[in-house]
Structure 1
Amino acid sequence: MMRRLLMLALLPLLLAVAGAAWAVEPFRASYDVYRGGRAIGVATLQVVRDGARWRVDLAMDGKGLAGLAGLNAQQSTVFDEVNGTYRPLAQSTVRKVLFTRKQTTGTYDWSAGRATWTGDVKKTRRAPVALQPGDMSGLLINLAVIRDARPGATLQYRFVDDGRARPQQYVVSTRTEPMTVDELHYDALRVDRVQSVAEQTSIWVAEGVPTPIRILQRENGEDTYDLRLIEYKGA
């Protein structure tokens, strides 16, 4: 009985410590973008305050033909932090290809329990998506991976973005590997998501760094996007 009372007394403290460990912090990170080992552009990932909420932004700018082929894109998710979880509230994506501009906007209505998208959305993705606790956009999942990665862990998330909902599983490596950013050396964990035999995403995260060290997307055995951190600045 005494042990149970002690645990109950400690519970608020443990929750407070966990909440502090999960707290969002603003940052701005710059990346070089590669494809097949060739530099094709730059990218910026940032988390900023948006009033009482937060916003995470990813902007990619292509060089030359890469820009014409659609590397120019901006994504944003407005979110809040509830009991250590990242809850999306609004999402937008803008893509520029040649002389066209496509934009989609998403709203996560948690009181109604559904998310909807408008704009240049495929007909098959215009129906409302029923929300479940823990649902996140793609950008928020990247932040959650940084928060949750532990050696040998398996991470489960539900991706709800652009009119789609699907489970995603990430597997964290058991050991770190050395990586260098701007002459600074990090021991980074590799986190892999294999959606299918043909598609894979890998994210490298390092303790104390609020942004991925590297993000690599591969399709059919070839690199599609390879974002490599150049520098980052905290609050």
Structure 2
Amino acid sequence: MKTFALPLCLVALLCAWTPQARAAALEPFVATYDAWYEGRHAGDATMRVDHLDGSRWEVDLDIRGRRGLVGLARLNMGQSTVFDVSADGERYRPLTQRTVRKALFFGRQIDGVYDWDAGAAQWSGDVSKRRRDPVPLREGDLSALLINLAIIRDAEPGQTLNYRFVDNGRTREHVYRVADEAEIIEVGDLSYSALRVSRVDDGDDETLVWVANGVPTPIRILQRDADGDGVDLRLIEYQGVE
């Protein structure tokens, strides 16, 4: 498989946000992140998007935490979603979903199938009994990983983005608010002009995603609660894959 890397110094210079900026059409890539937990560097992560065939694609996120870290279970996990893309690129529709949690003495795996003909999704494996029942589907439903890709596709200054999360037997309405203006995000020795996209859950939980013009993957993904920063993924580099 042939790959090419975009020099990060060049990427940083090219990422100034323009008012009408939108991400390019979906393309395969591999992105590497530093993983932080509660303010400490705790491991690394890889996000990957591959074109399978026809309109079918796959997105994967693998997070690897260092041994001995408290809360390691949150940082040793993998997720993947196979999905199809409409001809105009405006719809990502999940087909299958998998979550794997890795631990020293035990592991968990949950598999889901989105049956659009039947109009329902259902999960099996290490999923609680109350989440095994079929979940009715609506047009536009997305898995957690697809919401990240949809934000990159949709984010424009000042917009409100509405998505319905359907993942691991749960459904939830997600509302994201895009900042009016870009801000400078420091990633290692580099700076990006990026839009901050934020979602506040019921209570004090918050998810923040920063996206930069022309970059196919989030610059940073931060989940935090009233106690402070939780899982924090910070982009190191990305490569396009041909």
**TM-score, structure 2 as length reference:** 0.85
Aligned length: 216
CA distance 1:216–1:68, shift in 2 (3 Å)? closer
Deviation at 1:22, TM superposition (A): 6.4
Deviates more, 1:215-224 or 1:63-72: 63-72
Which structure 1 segments of 5+ residues have no match? 1-19
State yes or no: 1:97 paired with 2:99: no
Letter of the structure 1 residue corresponding to residue 108 of structure 2? K
Matched to 2:26, the amino acid is V
CA distance in 2, matches of 1:151, 1:68: 35
State the Cα deviation string for residues 115-158 of structure 1 (Å, max 9, x = none): 00000011110100000000000000000001111111000000
Compare relative contact order (CA 8 Å, sep 6+) and give the higher one, 1 or 2: 2
Aligned position for 2:69: 66
2:31 equivalent in structure 1: 29
Find the aligned partners of 1:179 and 1:37 in 2 and give their Cα distance: 17
* Residue equivalent to 2:142: 136
Q: Aligned partners of 1:97 and 1:198: how far apart in 2?
A: 28
Structure 1 contact 74–94 (Cα < 8 Å) conserved:
yes
Is residue 196 from structure 1 mapped to residue 199 from structure 2 by the alignment? no
Deviation, structure 1 residue 32? 0.3
Alignment of 1:81 onto 2:124 = no
2:172 aligned with 1:170 = no
Q: Which residue of 2 aligns with 1:17?
A: none
CA distance in 1 between partners of 2:24 and 2:214 (Å): 12
Aligned Cα root-mean-square deviation (Å): 1.7
Give, in whole Å, the separation in 1 of the partners of 2:228 and 2:188. Answer: 27
Matched-pair contact (CA < 8 Å) for 2:23–2:216: no
Contact 2:162/2:176 (CA < 8 Å) preserved in 1? yes
TM-score by length of 1: 0.87
CA contact (8 A) 1:106 1:115 kept: yes
Counterpart contact for 2:31–2:46, Cα < 8 Å: yes
* Percent of matched pairs sharing the same residue: 55
Instruction: State how far apart, in whole Å, the 2-side matches of 1:121 and 1:229 are.
Output: 31
Q: CA deviation at 1:181?
A: 3.8
Kept in 2, the 8 Å contact 1:106–1:116? The answer is yes
Q: What amino acid sits opposite 2:191 in the alignment? A: H
1:215 partnered with 2:221: yes
2:122 corresponding residue in structure 1: 116
Rg comparison, structure with higher value: 1
Aligned AA for 1:115? A
Do residues 205 (structure 1) and 211 (structure 2) align? Answer: yes
Measured in 1, the distance between the counterparts of 2:212 and 2:93 equals: 24
Deviations 1:190-226 (A, max 9, x none): 0000012221100000000000000000122321100
**Tell me, which stretches of 5 or more residues in structure 2 are unaligned?**
1-21
Structure 1 runs (4+) greater than 4 angstroms displaced? none
1:73 maps to a residue whose letter is M
